[in-house]
């Protein structure tokens, strides 16, 4: 194998490990927002999905992406034995809103 090809392969392998590590990092968002969330659409129907063994359901909700509110679809999250899932919160605090994304108790 040529030295340049070998070096490229090693660099690619090491870079791939870094991406995998970043994907597993905690993603807790905890922010104060000066804009109220959008009102739910008049046609909004809340459907409680079927319980799935070994999963927790996080309902769909508005989240904050750093610039605006975005709709986050409901999702099943694999249960982590010995840990508790903290659902998202979006609460009014005076003239501001506090948003904290759903997360595990150890995140």
Shortest CA distance to 59 belongs to which of 92, 89, 17?
89
Residue 11 within any structural domain of the chain: no
Each residue's pLDDT tens digit, 49-87? 888 999 999 988 899 999 999 999 899 999 999 999 999
Q: How many domains does the chain have?
A: 1
Per-residue pLDDT at 106: 86
Domain that holds residue 33: 27-104
Residues 23-41 have a mean pLDDT of 77
Per-residue pLDDT at 48: 76
Residue 43 within any structural domain of the chain: yes
Whether the predicted model's global pTM rises above the 0.75 cut = no
Q: Which residues contact 26 (CB under 8 A, 6 or more apart)?
A: 103, 107
pLDDT band at 97 (very low <50, low <70, confident <90, very high): very high
Q: Which residues contact 64 (CB under 8 A, 6 or more apart)?
A: 29, 31, 33, 70, 99
Residue 17 within any structural domain of the chain: no
Query: What distance in Å separates the CA atoms of residue 37 and residue 63, rounded to the nearest whole number?
Result: 9
Q: How many residues appear in the chain?
A: 107
Per-residue pLDDT at 20: 37
Instruction: Evaluate whether 101 touches 88 at the Cβ level (below 8 Å).
Output: yes
Using DSSP's 3-state secondary structure scheme, residue 41 falls into coil
pLDDT band at 6 (very low <50, low <70, confident <90, very high): very low
Token pair 């046609």 in the structure block, residue: 43
Per-residue pLDDT at 3: 52
pLDDT band at 2 (very low <50, low <70, confident <90, very high): low
């Amino acid at each position: 194998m040529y030295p340049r090809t070998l070096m490229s392969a090693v660099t690619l392998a090491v870079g791939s490990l870094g991406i995998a590590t970043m994907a597993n990092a905690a993603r807790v968002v905890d922010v104060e927002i000066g804009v109220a969330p959008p009102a739910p659409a008049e046609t909004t129907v809340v459907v409680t999905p079927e319980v799935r063994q070994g999963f927790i359901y996080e309902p769909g909700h508005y989240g904050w992406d750093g610039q605006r509110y975005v709709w986050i679809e409901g999702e099943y999250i694999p249960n982590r034995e010995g840990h508790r899932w903290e659902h998202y919160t979006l609460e009014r605090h005076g003239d501001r809103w506090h948003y904290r994304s759903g997360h595990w108790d150890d995140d």
